Structure 1
Amino acid sequence: MYRFLLSRRWLITLLIAVLLIPTTIRLGFWQLHRHESRVARNELIARALTAQPVAFDSLSAPGFAVPGDLTWRAVTATGEYDAAHEFVVRKRTDSGGDKIGYFVVTPLKLSDGKGEVLVNRGWVASGESAAAYPAVPATPAGEVTVTGRLRADETAAGSGIRDRGGLPDRQFNLISSTQQARESGITLLGGYLELTGTSPAPAEQPELLPEPNHSDIGPHMAYAVQWWLFTAMIPVGCWILIRREARDRAEEAAEAGAEAPAEPVPAA
């Protein structure tokens, strides 16, 4: 009844089904691991943002690479802005995500003399010409205390942004303390501070960047469940197809037997 399973067509079909099962199981676990990574990232950000701010220079030093477990850590720094080494970062969006402009990054010379810290002061709109330096609110005069989020240096590999040369003066594609230390010759602590507040508060400042979203867990768990449901459907679907073909073959055989001419009865 099931000899048709030895046909070439069915052997290929069953082989594909056997190969699909471990593949879809692995895809489900891949999505599960992405879900777990997203949840862990959200928890890390939430802890970092709600922690008591610590001094930037207690976590970083010149040439320091900010690790993942310190990213978004609430930090503070006191000093005077080094406006002479200010620069802007091209092709960045505002808090709404629909306007293209610049991030304004200004080094802050620490009062304790340990060096300078890059401070991303926020976003400003583009001017009429991309070659011209945009209109940027002046830095506060005198000593200030800034608070913000610790961020790692941007890289082309990590951000997907191509770091092309030949840009207008004081315009860059990435925020990198390593790159700025090389360009300017000043002593910069690794990473940078993403500004959330300044004391005393300035009269005017760039648009501050919003807090990172750490509540959205994404669709990865739903995708994992979908892949595993598909895994379960493969053998069920194969069995349904096998039973259907067996039934069709049985019906065809019965019809062929009914349509066969009856043998003549010999005369007495």
Structure 2
Amino acid sequence: MYRFLATPRWVGLTLLLIVLIPAFYFLGKWQYSRYEARSAASERISANLKADPVPLERLDRIGGSVPKENAYRRVTATGRYDPAHELVVRLRSQNGRPGFYVVTPLVTGDGAVLVNRGWVPVGATAETPPEVPPAPTGEVTVTGWLLPSETEESTGIKNLSGLPPGQIVLINTEEIGKGLPYRLYGGFVQLAEQRPAATPAPEPVPEPSVGGGGLLNLAYSLQWWLFIGIAIAGWFILARREARERRQADTAVITDRDHDRISG
């Protein structure tokens, strides 16, 4: 009844099934590993966001880098803003509006840390510089989230050249530090609070989002593994259907022969 499985068409279908099963399994496993990694990252970020603020120098250092376990920790730093070396960061939207981040060095006792003071909208035209509220004068104490230096790989944002003076695309502390008269901390601070407060000031950047923790990756992994069952079930259904059709065809042939014999 199932000798048709040895035909070229069914051999090809069977070989395709044999290839698809491990492929779907490993695709599901890959998505599940991404789910585990993103869930762990979300848990770490959530814990960091809830932690009490600590002095910047406890988690970062001049010329260093911010390890992932310290990202999104709240830190404090005291110093004076250096508006002469202030920068605006292109391609940063907020609440669906295009604009810029305002990054100003905060000079401390041992160097400086870049502070993202907030967001401002784009100017009237592409060539018009944005209106940026001035940084406060005098000593200030900032509290904010410590973030690692940005790169194309970490942000997915392509760096651009030939920008107007004072404009950048990435908050890359190493590159920015090359044009400063002092050394920078490895990360930068996204401002959450400042004493004394400044009025007017750029629009505050919302608290970093933790995201879904990789739940979409979990759904994808289950989807790939479900495809394994669908592929196997589909193969058996097609095989049984063809076997039934062949049996019915054979029965019809036998019935016709018997009818012809009786009629003859």
**Range into which the TM-score falls when normalised by the shorter chain:** over 0.9
AA in 1 matched with 2:14: L
The C-alpha deviation readout for 1:60-98, integer Å capped at 9, x for no partner, is 22221211111111111001111111010011111x1x1
Alignment partner of 2:121 out of 125, 134, 140 = 125
User: Is residue 2:248 matched to residue 1:251?
Assistant: yes
Structure having the higher helix fraction is 2
Task: Give the match for residue 109 of structure 1.
Answer: 107
Distance in 1, Cα, partners of 2:70 & 2:79 = 22
After TM superposition, the structure 1 = structure 2 runs for residues 55-94 of structure 1, keeping only pairs within 5 Å, are 55-94=55-94
AA in 2 matched with 1:200: P
Shift of 1:221: 1.6
Q: Which moved more, 1:190-199 or 1:161-170?
A: 161-170
The C-alpha deviation readout for 1:230-257, integer Å capped at 9, x for no partner, is 2112222211111111111011011111
Gaps of 5+ in 1: none
Structure 1 pair 255–117 and aligned structure 2 pair: CA distance change class (3 A) = same
Aligned-CA RMSD value = 1.6
Is the 8 Å Cα contact of residues 63 and 183 (structure 2) preserved in structure 1?
Answer: no
Shift of 1:174: 0.8
Task: Give the match for residue 44 of structure 2.
Answer: 44
The number of residue pairs the alignment matches comes to: 261
Shift of 1:167: 0.9
**TM-score between the two structures when normalised by the length of structure 2:** 0.94
Distance in 2, Cα, partners of 1:153 & 1:213 = 18
Is the 8 Å Cα contact of residues 132 and 168 (structure 1) preserved in structure 2?
Answer: no
User: Is residue 2:98 matched to residue 1:100?
Assistant: yes
Is the 8 Å Cα contact of residues 32 and 221 (structure 1) preserved in structure 2?
Answer: yes
Is the 8 Å Cα contact of residues 120 and 132 (structure 2) preserved in structure 1?
Answer: yes
Task: Give the match for residue 219 of structure 1.
Answer: 216
Q: Which moved more, 1:229-238 or 1:6-15?
A: 229-238
Distance in 2, Cα, partners of 1:215 & 1:186 = 36
Distance in 1, Cα, partners of 2:188 & 2:201 = 18
Distance in 1, Cα, partners of 2:92 & 2:263 = 93
Gaps of 5+ in 2: none
Distance in 2, Cα, partners of 1:130 & 1:182 = 27
Structure 1 pair 264–150 and aligned structure 2 pair: CA distance change class (3 A) = closer
**TM-score between the two structures when normalised by the length of structure 1:** 0.93
